[in-house]
Amino acid sequence: MTSMTHDALRSLERARLRALVDKDLSFAASVHAADFQLVTPVGMVLSKDQYLGAIAAGQLVYGSWDPMAIDVRLYDHAAALRYRSTMAVTFGAHQVPSAEYWHTDLYEKRGDDWQVVWSQATGVRPQS
């Protein structure tokens, strides 16, 4: 049962990323908890409304978001997901070229559904 839950959470995270890239805000709204917060690579904290509102307004545009292997730590009614991805994003007039990021997401089981409540992204600096 646990491996099925791990796989379901990985699938849900991949679907969430696709929804954000595709601007499927209906699905994105359903998987982000009302009290969701994102900490961006530059340290900005965005609420669910700010985050999805920026995507809806075209202020935040994901050109691509390709996750690598997703690690899952499952607890009673919570799960932590961590993975690297390659992502290209435009924020306002600032186009960020495709780069690698680490992502850590905290999901909680609310009722029958899993929802993401916290998300943090950190840029991967090239090693010299």
Q: What is the pLDDT of residues 98-122, one digit of tens each?
A: 899 999 999 999 999 999 999 999 9
pTM: predicted TM-score of the whole model, two decimal places: 0.93
Q: What is the pLDDT of residues 30-71, one digit of tens each?
A: 999 999 999 998 899 999 999 999 999 999 999 999 999 999
Q: Is residue 90 part of a domain?
A: yes
Q: Is residue 38 part of a domain?
A: yes
Q: Which pLDDT score is estimated for 11?
A: 97
Q: Is residue 128 part of a domain?
A: no
- Cα 98 from Cα 115, distance rounded (Å): 27
Q: Is residue 62 part of a domain?
A: yes
| Residue 91: domain span | 2-123
Q: Is residue 95 part of a domain?
A: yes
3-class DSSP state for residue 11? helix
Q: Is residue 10 part of a domain?
A: yes
Q: What is the pLDDT of residues 89-100, one digit of tens each?
A: 998 888 888 899
128 pLDDT band (50/70/90 cuts)? low
Count of domains forming the chain: 1
- Judge whether 60 and 34 are in contact, CB under 8 Å: no
Q: Is residue 64 part of a domain?
A: yes
Q: What is the pLDDT of residues 20-40, one digit of tens each?
A: 999 999 999 999 999 999 999
Task: For residue 40, give Cα distances in angstroms to 46, 47, 84, 94.
Answer: 8, 11, 15, 14
Q: Is the pLDDT assigned to residue 1 strictly greater than 60? A: no
CATH number of the domain bearing residue 81: 3.10.450.50
71 vs 126, which has greater pLDDT?
71
124 vs 127, which has greater pLDDT?
124
Q: Is residue 47 part of a domain?
A: yes
Render 13-69 in DSSP notation, one character per residue: HHHHHHHHHHT-HHHHHHHEEEEEEEE-TTS-EEEHHHHHHHHHTTSEEEEEEEE--
